Structure 1
Amino acid sequence: MHEVDCVVVGGGIVGTALTYCLSKFGIQTTLLEQSAFGTGGSTGLSAATVWCGVDLATTEHDEKKQQLTDLEEDMYLCAKSRQLYKEVKCKECQYMETGALEIATSATELSFLRHQWDTYQQRTSGKTPSLQAEWLNSNDAVRQKEPALSQSVLGAIYTPLSGFVSTPIGCARAFADAAERMGAICAEGARVTNVVPCSDNVATSAGTKRRFMVEYTCESKQTQQVATDHVVFATGYFTDVMQRAFTSQTTESQTPQPLPPTTIVPVQGQIFQLDKEPPMTKTKVQNYPNLQWPQKVIFTVRGYEYWKNHTTSPPKVTHDATGKRLTHHAYLRPRIQGGLLAGGSRIPAGATKHITDEELFHDNVSYMRSFLTPLDHYLALKEEEEEEDFRKKTLEERGIDYWRGTMPFSPNGQVISYSN
């Protein structure tokens, strides 16, 4: 048995970054991950975008109910996250500061985006925000920033500090390595089996008393113990399962009691990536000269405009429980080796059985190609060169790489927190 100030359960990007930050402040920390760092949950399947922009979900601030995160706090967290990626300097954790555009493709979306911009300006007036955001009020202004966008884009908010990281799994590994260099214990293949309050007669080897005992098994299958005062579950959509499995003590009694119930709603999204260019003949290339993929991260605001006026369950999903499409939400970013990575669907996990990968892909790209010229040209080339109907072939047959990742959502869209 050993003792530390804090045990972090879950070695995704949140758990490893938290362990790194705690170690920087001299807090003795042990990180336990049941698989390999960055591979067990959402991290390894993410698009790895880093958003340092005007948060469309939080600028509508309810002062009375305090339901939404303060914009200034969001800005601070964005700036700190970006700084963390730059601190951990390694090939696998490069921060690509490309800048990002939140784009509007209709008058309604433009009005919504302008309202968000005005709110942002009002609430940051006289302060020194670090986002360096810029309002672009015309198609020409937008396309000067990103020529790959089409004439359908009416305006945008540009945030130059946004970007993406090279490999999310590599970043998680880099944070864990950096934490270990500062004295943290970071264990892969460590499956937590129990978290219980320490009884009055249990003391550590140093003679001190700790609040919790965390039990886990490693490759040897032998149970190991670590005593600690704080336990953090950075376990994403596994968190409610973890909470139901373990017990904690309340402040009123020393008797172990179940943790308060927490409901995590698994939400799936499809991500796909396209190579720099498809196989093609010289003649076909001449027919579609614009295959220059975007060099900036792009977000659309259609979903946010819809979510402002409609209630979904859980909040901010693109499909209902039956798999019916409610709205579109899209994000796109360049790949380091060339090409495009894109996604955006947010589907309640129970509804995914109603939608095939082919249906989801075609639905997403038909929306994205309306505002992204090279995507339209790329798919037109693919359709021309296929001997059979492009839509009748599977994604694998067409050489399109895709996957679905699962994200943890809360039932009401708010942050879930529990402190004892």
Structure 2
Amino acid sequence: MTGVWHCQAVTDTRTAGAVRQGSLRELNLAVVLRRIATADPPPSRAGIAADTGLTRATVSAVVDDLITGGLVAEAAPAPRAGAGRPARGLRLAADGPAGLGLEINVDYLAACVVDLAGTVRHHEVRRADLRPVSPADALARLAELAGRAHTAAVREGLTLAGATLAVPGLVDARGLVRLAPNLGWRDVDVPALLTGHPLPTEPVDDVPPLVVENEANLAALGELHARPDGPRSFLHVSGEIGIGAGIVLDGALFRGARGWSGELGHVTVDPAGPTCRCGARGCLETYAGQEAVLAAAGLAGADLPADTAARRLADLAAAGDPATLDALRAAGTALGVAVAGVVNLLDLDTVVLGGGYATLAPWLRPPVVAELADRVLTAAWSPVTVRAAALGPASAAVGGAGAVVRRIIARPSGWLAHAG
């Protein structure tokens, strides 16, 4: 029976023609929308036809569909010196679909909304120590924050087309958090726990209602798209209570064989060092994590959220406090040792300091650069660039929301089917 149906599908020219026509339309929609998304200044219909090789009639029809579906809007025409009416440019719509980015970290929850153009339209952070809180309770609090983000999005004329949740741990393809040592989570089924607190997103074809991802990976993606003219390969290091890394190679996130790459915080700096929360000894987190740096600076036990802790350390360092300067120098040295191994292995030329490290970059960067110069084989003729992240502590939530809208731009037919 299976073979009969297979033959019928292939030999029925009407069905095959419909499939080809549908696929061609989907392809044209994606090509045109991607061109509009990446062009600067806003391109005209004629310009898109010239750039893509599509006919003007095809481009005009596709653009009309994208405008009707709320994905594209006409921009004001640029001044024209010659005769004739100036062409109207096309830009991504300021209203319409948007992405919801969520983050659970050790000492805060965050939610943000990003529109099609990548502009952050809402961002809220709620400070709380989540280590003594159950996963179910933490996710219930996050759902409340998501509801506030939805209210803000509606007020802006936006529709949340999907959500991405950033978690500081190992996440499998089903959204199961296998291990988040700093939260104390093990085998937490996030989608199942959220069924009682549904997220306020619209069902859109080809856009999952919720994707759960490692926070450092999402921070790296946020950085990649925040600097479209920046390097296409780099290491993004997120420094909070835990330390994670996102690896970007040739413009794509490197996930590893099982999707668990980037656990830089658990690279051994000293095999005889102190015991880490993960159970190993001498992990980078025990030397350069937020709590380790606070303790070395004489602020042990200070109940400070990640951004407040980083600002407090930065203020003390700027004032010349010797203990803080020594603590940051030691943390930067340990960080440089771990990062040098990654650079030697993967041949990266850029290291981005994100999370709390972005605030502390002026003091962390010199010892990191010094260790890279001593330890990276190619440093003598090809030094590694070390800089602060463009998005700072908001990288993971913004990167998660941006992942939603990029899926729509890559395949707009799903949204148009929903909008129609």
TM-score range normalised by the length of the shorter chain: under 0.3
Instruction: Select the structure with the greater relative contact order (CA < 8 A; seq sep ≥ 6).
Output: 1
TM-score (ref. length: structure 2): 0.26
TM-score (ref. length: structure 1): 0.26
